[in-house]
Protein backbone atom coordinates (compact mmCIF):
# COMPACT_ATOMS: atom_id res chain seq x y z
CA UNK A 1 0.00 0.00 0.00
CA UNK A 2 1.15 3.49 -0.74
CA UNK A 3 0.16 6.79 0.82
CA UNK A 4 -1.77 8.71 -1.84
CA UNK A 5 -3.10 11.79 -0.09
CA UNK A 6 -3.57 13.62 3.19
CA UNK A 7 -5.93 16.42 4.07
CA UNK A 8 -8.78 17.81 6.12
CA UNK A 9 -12.51 17.92 5.52
CA UNK A 10 -15.14 15.46 4.43
CA UNK A 11 -15.69 17.02 0.98
CA UNK A 12 -12.02 16.79 -0.01
CA UNK A 13 -11.96 13.19 1.27
CA UNK A 14 -14.99 12.24 -0.84
CA UNK A 15 -13.52 13.97 -3.91
CA UNK A 16 -10.21 12.11 -3.55
CA UNK A 17 -11.90 8.72 -3.08
CA UNK A 18 -14.11 9.29 -6.13
CA UNK A 19 -11.03 10.27 -8.16
CA UNK A 20 -9.19 7.10 -7.11
CA UNK A 21 -12.15 4.88 -7.99
CA UNK A 22 -12.43 6.49 -11.44
CA UNK A 23 -8.75 5.71 -12.12
CA UNK A 24 -9.72 2.05 -12.32
CA UNK A 25 -6.45 0.44 -11.18
CA UNK A 26 -7.19 0.60 -7.45
CA UNK A 27 -7.85 -2.58 -5.45
CA UNK A 28 -8.32 -1.21 -1.94
CA UNK A 29 -8.63 2.20 -0.29
CA UNK A 30 -7.85 2.61 3.40
CA UNK A 31 -8.76 5.90 5.09
CA UNK A 32 -7.06 6.66 8.41
CA UNK A 33 -7.60 9.48 10.86
CA UNK A 34 -4.77 11.78 11.99
CA UNK A 35 -3.90 9.33 14.77
CA UNK A 36 -3.43 6.47 12.28
CA UNK A 37 -6.63 4.60 13.16
CA UNK A 38 -8.45 3.00 10.22
CA UNK A 39 -11.79 4.70 9.62
CA UNK A 40 -12.72 3.11 6.28
CA UNK A 41 -11.30 0.00 4.57
CA UNK A 42 -12.91 -0.16 1.15
CA UNK A 43 -12.21 -2.97 -1.32
CA UNK A 44 -12.77 -1.60 -4.81
CA UNK A 45 -14.24 -4.20 -7.13
CA UNK A 46 -15.27 -4.00 -10.75
CA UNK A 47 -18.83 -2.74 -10.96
CA UNK A 48 -18.73 -0.97 -7.60
CA UNK A 49 -21.47 1.60 -7.83
CA UNK A 50 -21.76 5.01 -6.23
CA UNK A 51 -24.91 3.88 -4.42
CA UNK A 52 -22.75 1.56 -2.30
CA UNK A 53 -19.71 3.83 -1.94
CA UNK A 54 -21.45 7.14 -1.18
CA UNK A 55 -22.90 6.12 2.22
CA UNK A 56 -19.56 4.66 3.28
CA UNK A 57 -17.76 7.88 2.37
CA UNK A 58 -20.39 9.88 4.25
CA UNK A 59 -19.88 7.83 7.42
CA UNK A 60 -16.10 8.11 7.16
CA UNK A 61 -16.37 11.84 6.53
CA UNK A 62 -18.61 12.31 9.55
CA UNK A 63 -16.21 10.38 11.77
CA UNK A 64 -13.26 12.38 10.50
CA UNK A 65 -15.16 15.63 10.85
CA UNK A 66 -15.10 15.11 14.58
CA UNK A 67 -11.47 14.01 14.70
CA UNK A 68 -9.67 16.25 12.19
CA UNK A 69 -7.29 15.21 9.44
CA UNK A 70 -7.17 12.10 7.27
CA UNK A 71 -4.84 10.13 5.04
CA UNK A 72 -5.54 7.67 2.25
CA UNK A 73 -3.48 4.55 1.56
CA UNK A 74 -4.09 2.77 -1.73
CA UNK A 75 -3.38 -0.76 -2.95
CA UNK A 76 -3.18 -0.75 -6.75
CA UNK A 77 -3.48 -3.48 -9.36
CA UNK A 78 -0.09 -4.93 -10.27
CA UNK A 79 1.42 -3.28 -13.34
CA UNK A 80 0.97 -5.29 -16.50
CA UNK A 81 4.18 -6.71 -17.99
CA UNK A 82 5.70 -4.33 -20.47
CA UNK A 83 5.80 -5.21 -24.15
CA UNK A 84 9.58 -4.97 -23.99
CA UNK A 85 9.67 -7.92 -21.56
CA UNK A 86 7.37 -10.02 -23.73
CA UNK A 87 9.31 -9.19 -26.90
CA UNK A 88 12.57 -10.30 -25.25
CA UNK A 89 11.18 -13.82 -24.81
CA UNK A 90 10.10 -14.12 -28.47
CA UNK A 91 13.58 -13.83 -30.02
Tens digits of per-residue pLDDT, 22-55?
777 888 888 888 888 888 888 877 555 555 666 7
Residue 83's pLDDT band, with cuts at 50, 70 and 90, is very low
Looking at the domain assignment, is residue 83 inside a domain? no
Rounded to 10 degrees, the C-alpha dihedral 76/77/82/87 comes to 160
Q: Which residues, at least 6 apart from 19, have a Cβ–Cβ distance to it below 8 Å?
A: none
Which of the residue ranges 24-28, 57-61, 86-90 would you say has the lowest mean pLDDT?
A: 86-90
* Sheet architecture: strand order including 26-33: 2-7, 70-76, 26-33, 38-43
What CATH number did the domain enclosing 67 receive?
A: 3.30.1490
Residue 74's pLDDT band, with cuts at 50, 70 and 90, is very high
- Give the model confidence (pLDDT) of 4-26 as tens digits: 888 887 778 878 888 887 777 88
Owning domain of residue 18: 2-78
Tally of structural domains, the chain? 1
Question: What's this model's pTM, rounded to 2 decimal places?
Answer: 0.67
Looking at the domain assignment, is residue 63 inside a domain? yes
Amino acid sequence: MTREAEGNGARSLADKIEQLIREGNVRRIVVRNDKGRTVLNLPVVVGLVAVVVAPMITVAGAALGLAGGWSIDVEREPASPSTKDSEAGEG
